[in-house]
């Protein structure tokens, strides 16, 4: 716990039953379930012979990054330079920044962060960017590791031309200050296809050009040491295929409504359990059939799915976001109203977008608040 802006719940740490006495809205993290998820994924990857470098944008937490690394992860993937800087400053090794850094002031920040940690890598998809990174790395006096971003679906970043990737790899290899490390191929669109077989087929189709690229690079004596991509939804599929050397899986630490009912393989389809919740309080029960809570769009982030109630309301009650800071629990016909002040916990629709709205995790074991952890790298400036 090293948080300057911790809120009003600190005095409840260690108090029996304190989980349900929090000032809300509050983000709850079940430490036992978190730990089970982290150990299970580490064990799974170990047995399936694929490395794990989990996406830290999912949790934005130095404490959780440390737990992942302790369990065997190579490091963490970061989505933004700010995330990477915060991880670097807190001695997290093996940081992969999976988007390009292109402006002068950010490139300066990147090579500074590189000096603070071991094995920082950044993705590139542009020749002029490689030149700028090389010059900055030389000036900073520390070699910078690069991965080439290869488009395998999603129409976002990355080159989609094999020839250009080969040329870019050659350029990196002969640029002072830079080390060519390998390839990134990520397709978010395949991760949450509900049926396992369909997801497997889609991911295989999506990674075919990547597989061809690797053969070609190998022939050109540019065999990638690292091939990274995939997520929680395809880690088992990816390990079977043998294309990726490592996975960027991340959502497995928390799970969410988006992910929790998606079978991840055929033998043990649901290995991970939701460990992240939003706790909310009933603030109005003046009418029949529903009550109003203090958690809305600002506390859950608007998504395709609704939050799923996990505690405090009858079965079949549903949760709706009805205001910036207001939720509505629609009660099944014939049930009693919930008392004013009563607590309801929900699984968020999307773990990442939700936790980004909070300052801290309220860490619980059973019904006790046991610690408060900062969400270290959540901030946009």
Contacts with its own copies, residue ranges (CB under 8 A): 4-9, 21, 23, 25-27, 57, 79-80, 99-103, 105-106, 109, 125-126, 128-129, 149, 151, 154-160, 188, 281-287, 290, 292, 294, 297-299, 301-303, 322-326, 328, 340-341, 352-353, 356-360, 379-381
- In this structure, what are the phi and psi dihedrals at residue 113, rounded to the nearest 5 degrees? -60, -40
Closest CB to its own copies among residues 161, 220 = 161
Measuring CA to CA, which residue among 76, 126, 138 is closest to residue 102?
126
In whole angstroms, how close is the CB of 7 to its own copies at the nearest point? 3
Closest CB to its own copies among residues 227, 295 = 295
In whole angstroms, how close is the CB of 357 to its own copies at the nearest point? 6
Closest CB to its own copies among residues 223, 298 = 298
Q: State how far the Cα of 247 lies from the Cα of 231, in Å rounded to an integer.
A: 6
In whole angstroms, how close is the CB of 5 to its own copies at the nearest point? 6
Whether 122 contacts 88, CB under 8 Å:
no
Closest CB to its own copies among residues 188, 194 = 188
In whole angstroms, how close is the CB of 302 to its own copies at the nearest point? 5
Closest CB to its own copies among residues 200, 361 = 361
Closest CB to its own copies among residues 28, 235 = 28
In whole angstroms, how close is the CB of 318 to its own copies at the nearest point? 14
Whether 344 contacts 329, CB under 8 Å:
yes
In whole angstroms, how close is the CB of 57 to its own copies at the nearest point? 6
Measuring CA to CA, which residue among 107, 68, 71 is closest to residue 87?
68
Q: What is the SS3 string spanning 177-240? A: CEEEEEEECCCHHHCCCCCHHHHHHHHHHHHHHHHHHHHHHHHCCCCCCEEEECCCCCHHHHHH
Residues 6+ apart with CB under 8 A from 43: none
Q: In angstroms, what CA-CA distances link 126 with 30, 103, 104?
A: 42, 13, 15
């Amino acid at each position: 716990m090293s948080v300057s802006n911790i809120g009003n719940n600190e005095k409840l740490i260690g108090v029996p039953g304190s989980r349900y006495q929090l000032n809300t809205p509050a983000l709850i993290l079940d430490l036992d379930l978190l730990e089970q998820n982290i150990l299970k994924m580490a064990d799974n990857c170990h047995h399936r012979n694929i490395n794990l470098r989990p996406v830290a944008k999912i949790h934005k937490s130095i404490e959780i990054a440390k737990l992942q690394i302790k369990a065997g992860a190579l490091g963490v993937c970061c989505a933004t330079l700010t995330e990477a800087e915060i991880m670097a400053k807190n001695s997290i090794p093996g940081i992969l920044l999976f988007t390009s850094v292109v402006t002068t002031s950010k490139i300066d920040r990147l090579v500074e962060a590189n000096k603070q940690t071991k094995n920082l890598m950044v993705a590139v998809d542009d020749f002029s960017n490689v030149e700028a990174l090389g010059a900055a790395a030389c000036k900073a006096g520390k070699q910078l590791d690069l991965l080439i971003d290869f488009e395998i679906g999603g129409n976002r970043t990355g080159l989609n031309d094999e020839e250009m990737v080969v040329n870019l790899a050659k350029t990196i290899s002969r640029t002072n200050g830079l080390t060519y490390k390998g390839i990134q191929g990520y397709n978010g669109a395949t991760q949450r296809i509900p049926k396992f077989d369909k997801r497997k087929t889609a991911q295989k189709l999506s990674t075919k050009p990547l597989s061809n690229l690797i053969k070609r690079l190998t022939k050109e004596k540019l065999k990638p040491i690292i091939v990274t991509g995939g997520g929680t939804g395809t880690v088992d599929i990816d390990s079977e295929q043998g294309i990726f050397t490592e996975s960027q899986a991340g959502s497995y630490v928390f799970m969410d409504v988006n992910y929790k009912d998606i079978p991840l393989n055929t033998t043990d389809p649901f290995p991970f359990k939701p460990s992240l919740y939003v706790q909310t309080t009933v603030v109005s029960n003046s009418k029949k059939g529903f009550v109003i809570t203090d958690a809305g769009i600002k506390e859950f982030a608007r998504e395709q799915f609704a939050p799923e109630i996990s505690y405090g309301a009858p079965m079949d009650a549903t949760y709706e976001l009805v205001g910036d800071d207001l939720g509505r629990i629609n009660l099944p016909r014939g049930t009693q109203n919930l008392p004013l002040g009563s607590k309801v916990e929900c699984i968020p629709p999307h773990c990442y977008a939700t936790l980004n709205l909070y300052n801290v995790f309220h860490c619980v074991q059973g019904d006790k608040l046991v610690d408060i952890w900062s969400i270290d790298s959540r901030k946009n400036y």
